[in-house]
Amino acid sequence: DFSVYTNGVRVWGPSEFAVARHMALREVICASERPGAISAVLHAGAVAKNGKAVVLAGDSGAGKTTLLTSLILAGWDYMADDLTGLDREGREIWSFPVAISLKSGSAALLASHLAEVPDLSCSPPDEFGLRYLDASARRAETPRVRVGLLCFVQYDAACTSLEVETLSPTAALGMLLQSGTRVVGAPPTVAALARLLDEVPSYRVRYADRQEATAFLEARVGEP
């Protein structure tokens, strides 16, 4: 039974630890910038390369963090894990590089690769079975990066080859809201989200081979 309080007012809970941690971080993101600076908190991780950010969205357990960590290992800059703040114009995301939360499945998939990288350290599992990866050495140098691509990812060990579906802005908006993205502000509005989705391509990607998924994103980001 964990609850989240902001200025003495309970804003979430009681719930299990993982959900409460998620909601607490969401409150911190909203409070970390000036009022009105953030239009939405995306349930998504983010990495950057060549001056463009790739947002990795999806439901909990979809494989966002597994792919995000693989991209960091491949040389991408770390922006955020699981929660990403979108600016009020709907064009840039704010860096929020907390320790990356790895569930047992992700930790097992990535263990041998992480053991070979000295500047990334992973904690032992806590009482909830989570490991925390310190990727601060790989964080992006700038606090905001323009979004170049939105990708809904799904890890599936039975997938024999990379499956990619192009999404319309309307479909992508519905999927973001259904997977836990929250619009903020007074009053809250989806205008910034709609602008983002009108301007950047959105895909649904099902993968088993992380190298295939990484190559797909590398090709879409391209050169500066």
At residue 59, the pLDDT reads: 85
At residue 205, the pLDDT reads: 96
Measured CA to CA, the distance from residue 78 to residue 138 in angstroms comes to 6
153: its two tokens: 């990812």
At residue 223, the pLDDT reads: 60
Q: What is 26-78 written as a DSSP string? A: HHHHHHHS-TTSEEEEEEEEEEEETTEEEEEE-STTSSHHHHHHHHHHTTPEE
At residue 21, the pLDDT reads: 87
216: its two tokens: 């797909």
Taking the model in full, what pTM does it have? 0.92
- CA R_g for the chain: 17
At residue 171, the pLDDT reads: 97
At residue 224, the pLDDT reads: 56
At residue 24, the pLDDT reads: 94
pLDDT along the chain (224 residues), means of 10: 94 91 91 89 95 92 92 96 94 94 89 89 90 94 95 94 97 94 88 96 95 94 71
| CB burial readout 126-146, b (16+ within 10 A) else e | eeeebbbbebeebbbeeebbe
